[in-house]
Amino acid sequence: MINEENGSSETRSAVRSGPSRRSVLATGAAATALSGFPYISRGRAAQTLKFWQFYAPGGGVATQDKWFEDVVKGWNDTHDAKVELVYVPNNAYMDGTKLPTAFASGAGPDLFIISPGDFLRYYNGGVLLDLTPFMEEAARADFFPSVIANRMVNEKIYGLPYEVEPMAMYYSVEAFAEAGLTEKDVPKTWDELLTVAKKLTNEKRFGVLFETSPGYYQNFTWYPFLWEAGGDFQTADGKSAFNSPATVQALKFWQDAVNMGVAPRKPLGGGGWDAVPNIGSGYCAMQNVGIWAIAQLREGAPNFKYGIFRLPTPPGGKYLTIGGGWAFVANAKGSNPKAAGEFCAWALGSMKPDSVDRIVDWCTKAKSDMPPRKSALEAGKAAFDSGFLKTFTDEIYPGARAEPRMPPPVYKAISDAIQACQLNGQKPEDAAAAASEQIDAFLTNYKGAPIL
Amino acid sequence: MAQVFPKTEGAVEAAPSSPRGFSLSNRTREWIAGYLFVLPDALGLLIFVGGPMLLSLSLGFFSVSGFGEYSFVGLDNYRRMIGDPLFWRSLSVTILYIVLLVPALYVTGLGLALLVQRNTRFNGFVRTMLFVPQTVSLVVVSLVWQVLLVDKIGLLNQFTSWLHLGQYSWLGDPRFALYVVVFISVWFLMGFYMLIFLGGLQDIPKEYYEAARIDGASALQSFLQITLPLLRPTSFFVLLVSTVTAVCGSQTFDLIYVMTRGGPANTTSLAIFYIYQQAFLFNEYGYAAAMASVFVVLLMGLTVLMFMLTRGGRFTYD
């Protein structure tokens, strides 16, 4: 038995072989000071630029994950200010709370990606950095005007796109054959589309699929039909142009597809953008989906035989499609906006071959997209002139109009009109008038960047 | 003979004097101990519930961009609410959801509890099975139901086709979507309410039923005259909690978010989902906070009314 009262210091140290209470407290305090206090953590974090997106590290598609990793590695190997990829799952990124709450709490990422549909929300919030000073004139001119327009305000560029995603129609070769149809029967007009869809519809399959879930994506897919019919959102004097015969025509087209029973009210999988569980699984014979479906089907349904055709037109209408796509943007209120701006320009907005090749690689290897830059279209000519990408290059992309950017209340008014007609049987005339009234009410007091 | 003094409160509280000259009466010590026990919970409520509620109430008087800009707008957000058809739409959808969900949960919870109240091995298994949905993520629940209910090829549509009843878009047709969401909510929650009712049923003395049986009471009479009256406090709890759950329970948001996104045509746009849209998709934090405040007030009003009507769940009117 050890007598604490009389034990020597050696004896005490032998008994207390583990760390003393004081040392534990001191270590804990030091650890807390180094890693726990937010301000110190923030100071350390300021060394690294956080890049939020939904591809890497650990994203679902290996080629896209690798592309992002390579871009960041290329930058980090040659620059002092480092960039770190932060993966945010797709659903949490697009419609979730992560990005909005980060900005609301003043902790938004230094770099992130946005689509044109979300541009005004962030631009009007004052968090988008002007990237123009970081770019050379030749690179600015290298972007297709129709693609860069919706990322610009007052001649300044606030986002650098790395892809253009035009919408098209996909069809199942097998379903066509089953219904006794051939490539010659590919519909060219809206009426033909509904007729063909009826022939393709059976007990287990819908003839055609349009998006039905309310949201930015559904609006995005409906806009080209409005344009093809000659409609638009705003008049030249900034008033709503939504209450028009063209709007009624486009709303009625989607309504007819559902009412005739040739289009589903609910798509499978993630929704109308998801090709594999819909056209790839035989749930529908034709699907309105974008260029990215080539990569989806290549990965998820490699044996599926399909064809692609451009959006049909209404009587007397002109072919048009929509070119969506995402862009790199930098946070003007981030920890190091200058470095973030330089990163964007270095990655996607420089005339150096690396920058151009990055876009070619993304559009032809990591994904299946059209390039937003003339030089990239030229550099990747071999790939863009082969396979399904050639169909897009030659037939679909030339008719692409930039995805509109609009503030949330305008988007919501249009979304409600689409939903009411497509799924709730409302008269298109009434829906167009109601939405137009709401848009006008909003535009009266709107003071943000122009809606395009 | 020693004089017997009446035992007074003061005498009981008298504590032996402390050698340090500082003493607390037993009552004071108990008082302090009681509050110390409550303190962690009270602090938690104050910081994590009271604080945000107060902040949310305050935000309702501001226009908030979501990017650090606040401007005081007084009652503008509340005025806007009055003229916003989607707010009224979400309110009416929420009321319908409550009206359908609360009685359905009461009936299924109590019914299942009565069916499985006897302690047999089989009943134990059934109870577990009925509670299993509670252990599964609501996102998974939503995805599974989506597959079951999908147009044309979903299991339910195959079944209705087999019965020659036709095919329906259960989640894509405004006539059905909300009812389907209610059905899935009931399926998900009924196991939980069954457990609460089981607890209530076990508190009812068996002697009452034996006496009733001897007196010749039927099963229905026993249920109406013994079970239901003695389950009043449990019933009150179930009705209160299920009403709150119907307005702001996790299933209210998650099922809608994954399965319908408020569609088709806003027919499943419950208040909590519309508030979410305004806050996180449209960056209208001030407006969303004002709507949240209105719903909190409505819910509190409903709760107070229920407390008043039932005398705090005791149902004692004399």
CB contact under 8 A, A104 and B152: no
Measured CA to CA in angstroms, residue B182 lies from A174, B108, B185, B243, B248 at distances of 39, 13, 5, 13, 14
From chain A, the residues in CB contact with B146 under 8 A are: 266
CB contact under 8 A, A264 and B264: no
Which residues contact residue A426 at a Cβ distance below 8 angstroms, ignoring those fewer than 6 apart? A420, B265
Task: Name the residue facing B263 among A122, A125, A423 (closest C-beta).
Answer: A423
CB contact under 8 A, A125 and B172: no
Contact B303, B240 (CB under 8 A): yes
pLDDT for the residue A417: 98
pLDDT for the residue A447: 84
Task: Name the residue facing A266 among B169, B280, B285 (closest C-beta).
Answer: B169
Phi, psi of A157 (to 5 degrees): -95, 125
Q: How close, in Å, is residue B251 to chain A by CA atoms?
A: 17
Which helix H or strand E contains B18, and what residues bound it?
none
B308: buried, middle or exposed (CB in 10 Å: 19+, 13-18, 0-12)? exposed
Domain ranges of chain A: 45-164+325-402, 167-322+406-445
Q: For B193-224, what is each residue's pLDDT tens digit?
A: 999 999 999 999 999 999 999 999 999 999 99
Q: How close, in Å, is residue A98 to chain B by CA atoms?
A: 9
Contact A64, A366 (CB under 8 A): yes
Question: Structure tokens of A340?
Answer: 């973030």
From chain B, the residues in CB contact with A204 under 8 A are: 152-153
Measured CA to CA in angstroms, residue A236 lies from A116, A219, A233, A317 at distances of 21, 22, 10, 21
Question: Could you tell me how many CB contacts below 8 A there are between chain A and chain B?
Answer: 97
Calculate the dihedral angle through the C-alpha atoms of A323, A327, A331, A332, rounding to the nearest 10 degrees: -60
Lowest average pLDDT, out of A44-48, A273-277, B12-16, B234-238, goes to: B12-16
Q: Report B:287-316 residues touching A (Cβ under 8 A).
A: none
pLDDT for the residue A249: 97
pLDDT for the residue B20: 56
CB contact under 8 A, A100 and B267: no
Q: How close, in Å, is residue B270 to chain A by CA atoms?
A: 14
Q: What angle do the packed helices A353-361 and A337-348 form, to 10 degrees?
A: 70
The alpha carbons of chain B give a radius of gyration, in whole angstroms, of 27
The CATH superfamily assigned to A167-322+406-445 is Periplasmic binding protein-like II (3.40.190.10)
Neighbours of B2 (CB within 10 A): 4
Residue ranges with strand state E in chain B: 62-64, 70-72
Contact A69, A62 (CB under 8 A): no
CB contact under 8 A, B67 and A103: yes
CB contact under 8 A, A264 and B172: yes
Contact A72, A81 (CB under 8 A): no
Mind spelling out the 3-state secondary structure of A49-94?
Answer: EEEEECCCCCCCCHHHHHHHHHHHHHHHCCCCCEEEEEECCHHHHH
Cα–Cα distance, A136 to A139 (Å, whole number): 5
Residue type, A70: D
**Residue the block writes with tokens 């701006």:** A341
Contact A97, A56 (CB under 8 A): no
Task: Name the residue facing B266 among A204, A283, A419 (closest C-beta).
Answer: A419
B39: buried, middle or exposed (CB in 10 Å: 19+, 13-18, 0-12)? exposed
From chain A, which residues contact B within 8 Å (Cβ)?
95-97, 100-101, 103-104, 106, 121-122, 124-127, 203-206, 212-215, 264-266, 268, 283, 333, 408-409, 412, 416, 419-420, 422-424, 426
Cα–Cα distance, B3 to A192 (Å, whole number): 113
Cα–Cα distance, A280 to A305 (Å, whole number): 9
Contact B42, B50 (CB under 8 A): no
Using the Cβ of B225 and the Cβ atoms of chain A, whether some distance falls under 8 Å is answered with no
**Residue the block writes with tokens 């207390």:** A16
**Residue the block writes with tokens 């993520």:** B137
Task: Name the residue facing B281 among A95, A104, A266 (closest C-beta).
Answer: A95
pTM, entire model? 0.85
Q: N- to C-terminal Cα distance for chain A?
A: 86
To test the contact with chain A by mutation, choose from B153, B253, B260 the residue with the greatest count of A C-beta atoms within 10 A, namely B153
From chain A, the residues in CB contact with B153 under 8 A are: 204, 283
Cα–Cα distance, A284 to A255 (Å, whole number): 17
pLDDT tens-digit profile, chain A (452 residues): 333 333 344 444 444 444 555 555 555 555 544 444 444 444 444 579 999 999 999 888 899 999 999 999 999 999 999 999 999 988 788 878 899 889 988 899 999 999 998 899 899 989 999 999 999 999 999 999 989 999 999 999 999 999 999 999 999 999 999 999 999 999 999 999 999 999 999 999 999 999 999 998 999 999 999 999 999 999 988 899 999 999 999 999 999 999 999 999 999 998 999 999 999 999 999 999 999 999 999 989 999 999 999 999 999 999 999 998 999 999 999 999 999 999 999 999 999 999 999 999 999 999 999 999 999 999 999 999 999 999 999 999 999 998 999 888 999 999 999 999 999 999 999 999 999 999 999 999 888 888 87
Using the Cβ of B150 and the Cβ atoms of chain A, whether some distance falls under 8 Å is answered with yes
Mind spelling out the 3-state secondary structure of A175-203?
Answer: HHHHCCCCHHHCCCEHHHHHHHHHHHCEC
Strands B62-64 and A284-290: unpaired
pLDDT for the residue A321: 96
> What sign does the CA torsion over A64, A66, A70, A76 have?
positive
Strands A321-324 and A165-172: antiparallel
From chain A, the residues in CB contact with B267 under 8 A are: 424
Q: For B254-273, what is each residue's pLDDT tens digit?
A: 999 999 999 999 999 999 99
CB contact under 8 A, B284 and A408: yes
A36: buried, middle or exposed (CB in 10 Å: 19+, 13-18, 0-12)? exposed
Q: How close, in Å, is residue B87 to chain A by CA atoms?
A: 13
From chain B, the residues in CB contact with A88 under 8 A are: none
Cα–Cα distance, A201 to A263 (Å, whole number): 9
CB contact under 8 A, A266 and B151: yes
CB contact under 8 A, A420 and B283: no
Length of chain A: 452
Q: Report B:43-102 residues touching A (Cβ under 8 A).
A: 64-69, 86
Contact A50, A111 (CB under 8 A): yes
- Whole-complex ipTM: 0.83
pLDDT for the residue A34: 45
- pLDDT band, very low/low/confident/very high, at B70 (cuts 50, 70, 90): confident
Cα–Cα distance, B145 to B133 (Å, whole number): 12
Nearest one of A89, A141, A153 to A451, comparing CA atoms: A153
CB contact under 8 A, B69 and A213: no
Which chain A residue has the Cα nearest residue B168? A265
Cα–Cα distance, B91 to B220 (Å, whole number): 38
Q: What is the DSSP letter of A22?
A: H
Cα–Cα distance, A365 to A101 (Å, whole number): 34
Which chain A residue has the Cα nearest residue B259? A213
Q: How close, in Å, is residue A425 to chain B by CA atoms?
A: 10
* A238: helix, strand or coil: coil
> What sign does the CA torsion over A37, A40, A43, A45 have?
negative
Which chain B residue has the Cα nearest residue A215? B261
Task: Name the residue facing A423 among B66, B67, B265 (closest C-beta).
Answer: B265
From chain B, the residues in CB contact with A124 under 8 A are: 65
| CATH number listed for the domain at residues A45-164+325-402 | 3.40.190.10
CB contact under 8 A, B66 and A283: no
A45-164+325-402 against A167-322+406-445: fold identical:
yes
CB contact under 8 A, B152 and A409: no
Nearest one of A308, A324, A270 to A172, comparing CA atoms: A308
pLDDT for the residue A250: 98
Nearest one of A123, A186, A115, A200 to A154, comparing CA atoms: A123
CB contact under 8 A, B150 and A268: yes
CB contact under 8 A, B173 and A283: no
Give chain B's domains with CATH numbers: 87-268 (1.10.3720.10)
Residue type, A302: P
CB contact under 8 A, B281 and A265: no
* A113: helix, strand or coil: strand
B296: buried, middle or exposed (CB in 10 Å: 19+, 13-18, 0-12)? middle
Helices (H) and strands (E) in chain B, counts: 16, 2
